[in-house]
A and B are shown apart, each in its own frame.
Chain A
Amino acid sequence: MFRKKGEGYLTAKESRRISKENRKITEEFEKKRKRKNVPESEYITQMRDPNNEVEFDDLHSYFYTDAGVVKSVDGVTFDVPIGKTVGIVGESGCGKSVTSLSLMQLLQRPQGQIVSGEIRLNRGGKVYNIANTPQEIMQDLRGNAVSMIFQEPMTSLNPVFKIGDQVDEVIALHEGKGKSKEEIRRQTIEALELVGIANSEGVANMYPHELSGGMRQRVVIAMALACHPRVIIADEPTTALDVTIQAQILDLLRDLKSKINASIMLITHDLGVIAEMADYVVVMYAGRIVEKGTAEDIFYHPAHPYTLGLMASKPVVGREVSELYSIPGKVPNPVNMPNYCYFRDRCEMKMSCCDGDYPCEIRLSDTHVVSCYRYYEEHKEEAERTANANLLQTARMAAAGEEVKGDA
């Protein structure tokens, strides 16, 4: 027999077996996705709370890679209320972007799939469950009800088309019925002016390479806002820009939000940006939410050791330190995650009970939720209730699975 090589090592045979299995699973998903004339009942649903714009409910988005299944988003639940900004923080690879791409159905298929859970999108009259919405309907929602600002302004505009044409395209697609080219172009110019581009007519006739990074990000934002979306996903909108431009872009986003009253999902690893912009904060770690609450909850009463670590690792104006704090260790391998608190091995407040199953959600207040064993004692009753409910659900799901197998 071979000796067991280091973690993550796969023999060719294992790798082949994995990719064969993956192909089987993803083909199943793709088949389901490619059906024609899906009945509305499959994707029209009800909001839990009509004051929410988007509800993520136990979302699981997996990537079927040749090294194994990566559970990038593994049971994420949070709400985006109408007209509010929700900040999502966490380190690279914790599933922030995958969560937002799931909402757009833009995961790299066929490897990336929404496996289970619901994403409910409130469109006034109708509520869509994005996880089951067919492609054609999705194309109507993208850029129209939900739009996205990407993190790389340098590469997220097509280099061979003029700025104006690229903005025209999205307007013509969603709001262009019965409009002439001139009217669409006028709307484009308005959109460019809205994001503070001077000489907007000149810029509309330029190619992306003729603009600076900050200008391009403004164009991307104009494109995202052109059709008055209800939800804007801003995926690290300031990462690639220098600080002055960052401040300008953030001011712009805040201004625009008050003008158009849309909900914003702001993804970033910059806690400063979150503090300035967000009403609610979701802290993610390794594909799960470890803590969520209002900005005040998170910044003034952080509860989870990971959040505490993040807070400690950011520089504070007026306090002099020789070295910034950093959380020890590294993120666990995303393939084959263990069933215990993912943060356990890096946690400096580890207790004996931490060796148990993944901690369930504990409600510290009406808005503040944390997944950590340290709060089990104070909220014992609630913890047990949730844990039991979880067990029940798992059992139900297992039973449902059995049934399906029985049918087959």
Chain B
Amino acid sequence: MRRFIIKRLILSVFILLCVTFIIYALMRCLPASYVENMAMQLSAAPGAKPYSEWLDQLNEQYGLDKGIVAGYLRWLSDAIRGNFGDSWKYTVPVVQKFADVIWLSFVMGAVAFFLELIIAIPLGVIAATKQYSRTDYVITAVALVGISLPTFFFATLLKLAFSVGLGWFDLYGLVGRDYEQLSAWGQFLDKANHLVLPIVTLVIVSIGSLMRYTRTNMLEVLNADYIRTARAKGLDENKVIYHHAFRNTLIPLVTIVGGSLPGLFAGALITETLFMIPGIGYISYQAMVAGDIPFSMFYLTFMAILTLAGNLLSDILYAVVDPRVRIA
């Protein structure tokens, strides 16, 4: 087990190097160049230097005068020492800006993910055990609606019902108008209140696929011979389903759960934009559009690390839930 993990970690470092290089190369090739925009603005000022002079000066200043490989190596040597530089767009250190926004997205993602698990998996199990019953049809139909309808449609519906109609929540934003006057506990509640609709949106659009996946796997397991053996022992139906069958259904589910680790930090661009919540999805999108190389590099590297960690985690979890899998 330990050897496997060490081997995988070494491999991961190699993969990470390749990934970061590709990202860097792509960022440099993007048509949206922060430096060009800036040079254009500066040269437009009255009595300024011509555009090409500004461009050369800025390129040198921002380290873009070197080639892609040399630029990458310089970024890498800084990054290894923990120095990710300053964000060009936000003009603060990258790590500081990231730390400001990531927790909001993480809380949203984690709560939504947790709710998704505790709603989708039991529903999937129920739908499978009552296959072709009315319950099954209702659950499957709801899942299909969740999968097929887009986020913005749901978000708008929710806003119409709960903000405009019932007036329970604000339409958008993270804090209310009187946020500054509230006590610490009140401020927390105010933020939580503003996060309800975004989280509900995230949950609704994501439960469908997990639920269908659970249902399919459960159905397959329920038809297995060992389930008949369990019934032939005289076990009651609950024990058969939630002990014998569910343990086997867990095996494929684990891959999905392990694979969603990066999703927790990725933020939800569309949902965050619709509710005007300054999460990482929204911020990183803005940075990328502006051609902010340090911020994008940091964010994408972070995601790559999480993806690799998620894969490793699901491989390890596989061995935990399925005794047939031995890691060596």
- A residues with a Cβ closer than 8 A to B are 104, 106, 135-136, 138-144, 147-148, 150, 152, 155-162, 169-170, 173-174, 207, 209, 220, 223
Contacts and interface: CB of A to CB of B under 8 A. Distances in A.
Shortest beta-carbon contacts, A-B, top 6: A142-B234, A143-B234, A155-B225, A143-B233, A158-B226, A207-B323
B225 A152 contact: yes
Nearest to B250: A160
Interface in B139-157: none
Interface in B192-233: 224-226, 228-233
Of A144, A161, A174, most B-chain CB atoms within 10 Å: A161
A142 B226 contact: no
A152 B236 CA distance: 23
A150 B225 contact: yes
Contacts of B59: none
B235 interface: yes
A101 to B, nearest CB: 9
A160 B248 CA distance: 7
Contacts of B233: 142-143, 147, 169-170, 173, 223
A158 B248 contact: yes
A157 B226 contact: yes
Of B230, B232, B237, most A-chain CB atoms within 10 Å: B232
B295 to A, nearest CB: 45
Contact of B229 (A135, A144, A158, A209): A158
A394 B5 CA distance: 73
A158 B233 CA distance: 12
B234 A174 contact: yes
A170 B230 CA distance: 9
Contacts of B234: 138-144, 170, 173-174
Given A159-B248, A159-B324, A160-B247, A139 B232 contact: no
B226 A155 contact: yes
B321 interface: yes
A157 B229 contact: yes
Nearest to B321: A160
Contacts of A106: 228, 231-232
24 contacts: A106-B228, A106-B232, A135-B237, A138-B234, A142-B231, A142-B233, A143-B233, A143-B234, A147-B233, A150-B228, A156-B229, A158-B226, A158-B230, A158-B248, A159-B226, A160-B251, A160-B321, A160-B322, A161-B244, A170-B234, A173-B233, A207-B323, A207-B324, A220-B229
Nearest to A140: B234
Nearest to A160: B247
Contacts of A143: 232-234
B248 A209 contact: no
B235 A173 contact: yes
Contacts of A207: 323-324
B323 A156 contact: no
A405 to B, nearest CB: 28
B235 A139 contact: yes
Interface in B286-328: 321-324
Contacts of A173: 233-235
Nearest to B324: A209
Contacts of B232: 104, 106, 142-143, 147-148, 150
Contact of B226 (A136, A138, A141, A156): A156
Contact of B235 (A141, A155, A169): A169
Contacts of A138: 234
Contacts of A156: 225-226, 228-229
A143 B199 CA distance: 48
A57 B207 CA distance: 50
Contact of A139 (B236, B244, B247, B251): B236
Contacts of B247: 158, 160-161
A232 to B, nearest CB: 11
A139 B230 CA distance: 11
Contacts of A136: 236
Nearest to B228: A106
A209 B230 CA distance: 17
A139 B244 CA distance: 16
Contacts of B229: 150, 156-158, 220, 223
Interface string B237-258: 1000000100110010000000
Contacts of B251: 160
Contacts of B244: 158, 161
Nearest to B248: A160
Contacts of A142: 231-234
A117 B251 CA distance: 42
A141 B228 CA distance: 15
Contacts of A155: 224-226
A160 B246 CA distance: 11
Contacts of A152: 225
A60 to B, nearest CB: 22
Nearest to A233: B232
A159 B226 CA distance: 8
A207 B229 CA distance: 16
Contacts of A141: 234
A167 B251 CA distance: 23
A112 to B, nearest CB: 12
Contacts of A223: 229, 233
A139 B238 CA distance: 12
Contacts of B322: 159-160
A392 to B, nearest CB: 39
Nearest to A101: B228
Nearest to B224: A155
A153 to B, nearest CB: 9
A225 to B, nearest CB: 12
Contacts of A169: 233, 235
A373 B131 CA distance: 45
Contacts of B235: 139, 169, 173
Nearest to B235: A173
